[in-house]
Amino acid sequence: MSTLLEQLHAQAGEFIGLRRDIHHHPELAFDEHRTSALVAAKLESWGYAVERGLGGTGVVGRLVRGKGKRRLGLRADMDALPIDEATGLAYASSHAGVMHACGHDGHTAMLLAAAHHLAERGRFDGTLNLIFQPAEEGGGGALRMMEDGLFDKYPCDAIFAMHNMPGLPQGRLALREGPAMASSDYATVTLAGIGGHGAMPHRTADPIVAAASIVMALQTVVSRNIDPLQMAVVTVGAIHAGKANNVIPQSAVLEISVRALDREVRGRLEERIKALVAAQAESFGIKAQIDWRPGYAVLVNAPEETAFAREVALELLGPERVTLQAPALPGSEDFAFMLERVPGSYLLIGNGEGDSHGACMVHNPGYDFNDDNVAIGSAYWVLLTERFLRD
Ligand SMILES: [Zn+2]
Ligand SMILES: [Zn+2]
């Protein structure tokens, strides 16, 4: 497959320039106006049928070739993060406090580079849907595009997405079948007690004692209610209560973060946390209110589509540069919502390891996407498209 890689190497310069331009003009979730306009204009100029404004600032480009019935979806994310860039690069962010610190500039550039090649000389038969989504970083842009009819207007038989990964050798592809990234849910527990004098606790209902007891009781959810072979996290990240040593406050608030790698475990965590909070609070004569906010779902890679994605990776790079079953990650990713609707697979591309600049972790102010991945990442998308939509 060296010829395909060579072809994408030959055009990579243009897309590295585009990547740096996007990096220089980062935009936060649902504010990706310049980026999505740029994406839409490029796709249109290459002959794609383009829809703008799906899910706010999302863009879909469709290219139909031949009479094939198969429909493929490829997704990239476009949003930046509220971070002050500290890379010192010539193309560093020109927007104070906003930075492409997760490489979504690179994901966009890789998919555009593939889009260009596929329009010019892609050999496929069927429908290609390129999905550029807003607000991956906590905003749930994938869900917003789906609520706007993404898969009703652009049905897909399978969908794929790729994220860069610092610490993994540059250009290495890592796949995983099954649960690959965690769900993340949030809960705010408000404990309403009866405040009073610290010297007369018997005339109060102390929310601080109740809060302390709840924090300890919550530790038993993972250790006693969840299968020891399953991953689960319950973290109380904040406690807010009281101001003075001799005043028992009226209320206390707990902020809880909950993660799981399995849909059933996720449900069990919610059920047990709610039950424990209610029972514990009641035992202290305290009223508890729990505001449960579901975040991203567990990201589950489908077996058949992952097997296919592995074959494409092996064909492009050979076994030395492909990890067939990578470990799961405790982070979250809203492509999970798309995978709940359409089977597919989410893979990683190594951003660099050791003391290379590509090894700096995402969400760090010193991070930068590795431009050497533009050719490999786009070649992967081209080959995957040509294999999935075989003519
Ligand atoms: Zn991120
Ligand atoms: Zn990201």
Mind listing the pLDDT tens digit for each residue in 52-96?
Answer: 999 999 999 999 999 999 999 999 999 999 999 999 999 999 999
Nearest to 64 by CA among 385, 312, 383, 387: 385
Task: Give residue 235 CA to ligand 1 midpoint distance, Å.
Answer: 20
**Digit-coded pLDDT (tens) for 369-380:** 999 999 999 999
Backbone φ and ψ of 197, nearest 5°: -75, 135
**CA 17 → CA 22, 77, 110, 351, distances in Å?**
9, 18, 12, 18
Task: Give residue 163 CA to ligand 1 midpoint distance, Å.
Answer: 9
**Does residue 186 contact residue 255 with C-beta atoms inside 8 Å?**
yes
Task: Give residue 165 CA to ligand 2 midpoint distance, Å.
Answer: 9
Report helix, strand or coil for 187: strand
| Mean residue pLDDT across the chain | 97
Which numbered ligand comes closest to the C-alpha of 105? 2
Residues 81-93 as b/e (b if ≥16 CB within 10 A, e otherwise) read: bebebebeeebbb
Q: Please name the fold of domain 183-294.
A: Alpha-Beta Plaits (3.30.70)
Task: Give residue 299 CA to ligand 1 midpoint distance, Å.
Answer: 15
pLDDT score, position 138 = 84
**Digit-coded pLDDT (tens) for 332-368:** 999 999 999 999 999 999 999 998 889 999 999 999 9
Indicate whether 4 pLDDT > 90.
Answer: yes
Nearest to 345 by CA among 300, 388, 389, 382: 300
Indicate whether 309 pLDDT > 90.
Answer: yes
Indicate whether 5 pLDDT > 60.
Answer: yes
pLDDT score, position 355 = 87
Task: Give residue 231 CA to ligand 2 midpoint distance, Å.
Answer: 22
Task: Give residue 362 CA to ligand 1 midpoint distance, Å.
Answer: 6
Over its C-alpha atoms, the chain yields an Rg (Å, rounded) of: 24
Q: Which residues of 242-382 form beta strands (DSSP E)?
A: 247-248, 251-260, 287-294, 299-301, 322-323, 344-352
Which numbered ligand comes closest to the C-alpha of 82? 1
Polymer length of the chain = 391
Spatial CB neighbours of 2, under 8 Å, sequence gap ≥ 6: none
150, amino acid identity: L
Can you tell me the mean pLDDT for 27-43? 98
56, amino acid identity: G
Domain residue spans of the chain: 3-181+298-388, 183-294
Task: Give residue 375 CA to ligand 1 midpoint distance, Å.
Answer: 22
Task: Give residue 260 CA to ligand 1 midpoint distance, Å.
Answer: 18
**Does residue 195 contact residue 244 with C-beta atoms inside 8 Å?**
no
**How many C-beta atoms lie closer than 10 Å to residue 58's C-beta?**
28
pLDDT score, position 2 = 58
Which numbered ligand comes closest to the C-alpha of 364? 1
Which numbered ligand comes closest to the C-alpha of 138? 1
Task: Give residue 89 CA to ligand 2 midpoint distance, Å.
Answer: 20
Distance of CA 149 to the CA centre of its chain: 20
SS (H, E, C) 223-244: HHHCCCCCCEEEEEEEEEECCC
Which numbered ligand comes closest to the C-alpha of 369? 2
Between CA 119 and CA 128 the distance in angstroms is 10
**Does residue 260 contact residue 232 with C-beta atoms inside 8 Å?**
yes
pLDDT score, position 128 = 98
* Domain boundaries 3-181+298-388, CATH class: alpha beta
Task: Give residue 61 CA to ligand 2 midpoint distance, Å.
Answer: 21
pLDDT score, position 62 = 98
**Digit-coded pLDDT (tens) for 129-158:** 999 999 999 889 999 999 999 999 999 999
Spatial CB neighbours of 242, under 8 Å, sequence gap ≥ 6: 208, 248, 249, 252
Indicate whether 1 pLDDT > 90.
Answer: no
Nearest to 363 by CA among 331, 327, 328, 329: 331
**Does residue 204 contact residue 320 with C-beta atoms inside 8 Å?**
no
pLDDT band of 330, cuts 50, 70, 90 = confident
94 burial type by CB count under 10 A (0-12 exposed, 13-18 middle, 19+ buried): exposed
Indicate whether 285 pLDDT > 70.
Answer: yes
**Does residue 344 contact residue 338 with C-beta atoms inside 8 Å?**
yes
Could you tell me the two tokens for 149? Answer: 């009819």
Between CA 39 and CA 78 the distance in angstroms is 10
Backbone φ and ψ of 211, nearest 5°: -60, -45
Task: Give residue 338 CA to ligand 2 midpoint distance, Å.
Answer: 15
Which numbered ligand comes closest to the C-alpha of 104? 2
pTM: 0.91
